[in-house]
Structure formats: structure tokens, C-alpha cells
Amino acid sequence: MAEIVMNIEDRIGQVFQAENISDQFIEENPNIMELRNEPDLLSYVSAYMIWCVHHKDRALVDMYTVGCLAEYGRCKDPGNDYLNFKHRCTDEQKKVVHEFLQWCSSEILTSDTMQIERALENWRV
């Protein structure tokens, strides 16, 4: 399992520039979509994904992160700054998000299985 964890964390780190966000900040702000000041989603979402790899099944961050990725995956309007995370991702970044969601489907116990399945479909490259 440690190999799988390192693999997905490495993959996220290879294709995203994750923001250096403290565990305390993430735990106090578990839902990316509720952050104020319109953060750079490319760096914040990847930081939350890495947090989930390190702290799965803790503080509802994992459930919110999967939920946010599901919403971002459904967004059809690249002009919607609030939801256009997927449209800002490269194909390689989309592939890594899909890999992360696959990891979540087997590792995150508090996430909604149907939501992960729908998110996986929306993030397929």
C-alpha cells in the first residue's frame, strides 16, 4: 500500500504545482469550493489531493475533495471561473485526477461510491 500511496502522490507532484498549505488550514477549510478570494485551483486542488493521500478518511476533507472533483468534472463552460478547474488542466493533469479518483475508490472509505464512479467517467481522458 505504501508504494501505491507514494505513486499517486508522486504523480500529482509531477504534473501539478501544489500550493504549500498547512494541514490546519485544510482541516479548517475542508471544502475547496467554499474558499474565499478565488484561489488558484490548479495549485489548491492538487494540495488537497495530496492531503487526502496522507490523511485519508479524516476530517471530511476527502469527501469534499471528491465532491469538488465531481463538480469540476461536470462543468461544461470553460468560462466559468468558479467551476472550470477541469478546463484549465492539461490532458496529463486530467489523467492524474482520474488516477487519484481511482485511488479514492479503493482507499477512501467515507466517499460516496456512486459519486466517485460518476467523477471517474467525467475525468476520463
**What are 77-95's pLDDT values in tens digits?**
999 988 999 999 999 999 9
pLDDT at position 8 is 95
Q: pLDDT of the chain along its 125 residues, tens only?
A: 455 555 999 999 999 988 889 999 999 999 999 998 888 899 999 999 999 999 987 768 888 999 999 999 999 999 998 899 999 999 999 999 999 999 999 888 766 788 899 899 999 87
Q: Where are the domains of the chain?
A: 2-123
Give me the pLDDT at residue 2, please: 53
Say how many C-beta atoms besides its own lie within 10 A of residue 43's C-beta.
Answer: 14
pLDDT value for 1: 47
Compute the mean pLDDT over every residue in the chain, rounded to the nearest whole number: 89
Outline where 1-112 has alpha helix (H): 2-15, 23-28, 41-54, 61-74, 85-88, 91-107
Q: pTM score, two decimals?
A: 0.89
Task: Compute the distance between CA of residue 4 and CA of residue 83 in angstroms, rounded to an integer.
Answer: 29
Q: What is the pLDDT of residue 62?
A: 87
